[in-house]
Amino acid sequence: MAKTILITGASSGIGAGMAREFAKKGYNLAICARRVERLQSLKQELEQQYGIQVIAKILDVTQYDQVFEVFNAFKSEFGTLDRIIVNAGVGDGRRIGKGKFEINRSTVETNFISALAQCEAAVEIFREQNAGHLVVISSISALRGMPKHLTAYGASKAGVAALAEGIRAELLNTPIQVTTIFPGYIRTEINEGAQKLPFEIDEKTGSRLLVAEIEKAPAKAYIPKWPWLPIGFAMRVLPLKWVNKLSG
């Protein structure tokens, strides 16, 4: 029986990219996002191309009750959820103290509080099953405090990374696995208008590398591994003026 993966934020970017890569591998998919037309188009594409089962549901992850309802509905329809990827998020952010609190608040709520809701819903299901793989998408910007537009965004992703590690600590010695992913700069629809970013890769390459690492179920992974694995270690000890250069 084919295994099932739930992916949030699956209507575009690396969410849709990962769905395509997992579909190639024969997984059934539970995909959800706010843009239902895009989900339905992706569902049709993947079912026709790979002969898998895809269920698509609309989900705004900032509606916390809806997160639990949708996750549990997927569980009921598929019977089992083998892997849940907490991917939905926003890349917005503004410099601190420039009168843009509402944008930064929304970014932090979407990226952290909504991720908490998704993790709660996922781990409830996995505890009941006594099995499962939780994957949380953080960011390389979570490793140190970042300047400019990345300050609130990076802080939200640092919170997500700490949340995932705490869940992993709780679930050590159980059949439930937890993976934290730290992607570098991946050029997607969310940042298509931004200037060229350090060591950026395209969406298709990023999605392929993400899926390859997720399949290994590591505790944590940097995408792409080179150069972000050594840079990630260096970022923890470099002076902030050097870390600032990675903010684009």
- Whose tokens are 């992916």? That residue is 7
Nearest to 35 by CA among 6, 65, 15: 15
Residue 172: exposed, middle, or buried by beta-carbon count in 10 A (0-12, 13-18, 19+)?
exposed
Q: Which amino acid, 5?
A: I
The pLDDT of 15-19, averaged and rounded, is 98
Task: Say whether pLDDT at 124 is over 60.
Answer: yes
- The pTM of the full predicted model, rounded to 2 decimals, is 0.96
Q: What confidence category does residue 190 fall into, taking pLDDT thresholds of 50, 70 and 90?
A: low
- Please, what is the average pLDDT of the chain? 95
Task: Say whether pLDDT at 39 is over 60.
Answer: yes
User: 153 an active-site residue?
Assistant: yes
> Tell me, what's the pLDDT at 227?
93
Query: CA-CA-CA-CA torsion for 155, 115, 135, 81, nearest 10 degrees?
Result: 180
Q: In the numeric block, which tokens belong to residue 141?
A: 């910007």
Q: Which of 27, 50, 153, 185 is catalytic?
A: 153
Can you say whether residue 199 is alpha, beta or left, with left for phi > 0 and alpha for psi between -120 and 50 degrees? left
Report percent pLDDT > 90 for the chain.
Answer: 89
Q: In the numeric block, which tokens belong to residue 106?
A: 């929304």
Q: What confidence category does residue 192 fall into, taking pLDDT thresholds of 50, 70 and 90?
A: low
Q: What confidence category does residue 189 fall into, taking pLDDT thresholds of 50, 70 and 90?
A: low
Report percent pLDDT > 70 for the chain.
Answer: 96
Q: What confidence category does residue 193 fall into, taking pLDDT thresholds of 50, 70 and 90?
A: low
> Tell me, what's the pLDDT at 191?
52
> Tell me, what's the pLDDT at 246?
81
How many structural domains comprise the chain? 1
State the CATH number of the domain containing residue 106.
3.40.50.720
Give the domain extent around 182: 4-247
> Tell me, what's the pLDDT at 195?
67
> Tell me, what's the pLDDT at 58?
98
The pLDDT of 144-153, averaged and rounded, is 94
Q: In the numeric block, which tokens belong to residue 124?
A: 């409830």
Asked if residue 43 lies in contact with residue 32, where contact means CB atoms within 8 angstroms, the answer is no
